[in-house]
Structure 1
Amino acid sequence: MVVTRDTTIGEVLAEDMGAARFFFEIGMHCVGCPSSSGESIAEACVVHGTNEDELVSKLNEYFQSK
């Protein structure tokens, strides 16, 4: 999987629930709520005041290491 800023949280978690830890690490503890599943990484990062590029990079490193 290649993650972009437009990838939804739901798409990431559907691919691998282990990726949830990266959301938790930056304070996104709502990854299980229904509305977050359709939210893009960019949208979620704006709401939570976090760096989307850093999160996308970590997620891509995780998926590439599998």
Structure 2
Amino acid sequence: MAKITENMTIMQVLQQDRDSAAVFMKYGLHCLGCPGATMESIADAGKVHGIDVSKLVEDLNKFFESKGE
């Protein structure tokens, strides 16, 4: 399993494991099915929503590591 980076789109992460939606939701990113999720990077979403992108990416990687992937 490749590391999650801030340059990946939200959809790329969700395609790896849909359960990762819970991590995005924790950060207030609730519109996971909107067009922006397929086009904008995690970094772009973080800027728009005022989210600490490095912490979000860290939590996403912890999520995937905990699943043993």
TM-score, structure 2 normalization: 0.89
Cα deviation 1:19-58 (Å, max 9, x = unaligned): 0011111111111112222211100000000000000000
What corresponds to 1:54 in structure 2?
55
Unpaired stretches in structure 2, ≥5 consecutive residues:
none
What corresponds to 1:63 in structure 2?
64
The number of residue pairs the alignment matches comes to 66
TM-score, structure 1 normalization: 0.92
Structure 1 consecutive aligned stretches of length 4 or more whose deviation exceeds 3 Å: none
Shift of 1:7: 1.0
Q: How does 1:1-66 map to 2 (within 5 A)?
A: 1-66=2-67
Provide the rounded CA distance (Å) in 2 between the counterparts of 1:5 and 1:26: 14
> CA-atom RMSD, angstroms?
0.9
Letter of the aligned partner of 2:40 in structure 1? E
Unpaired stretches in structure 1, ≥5 consecutive residues:
none
Cα deviation 1:5-27 (Å, max 9, x = unaligned): 10110100000010001111111
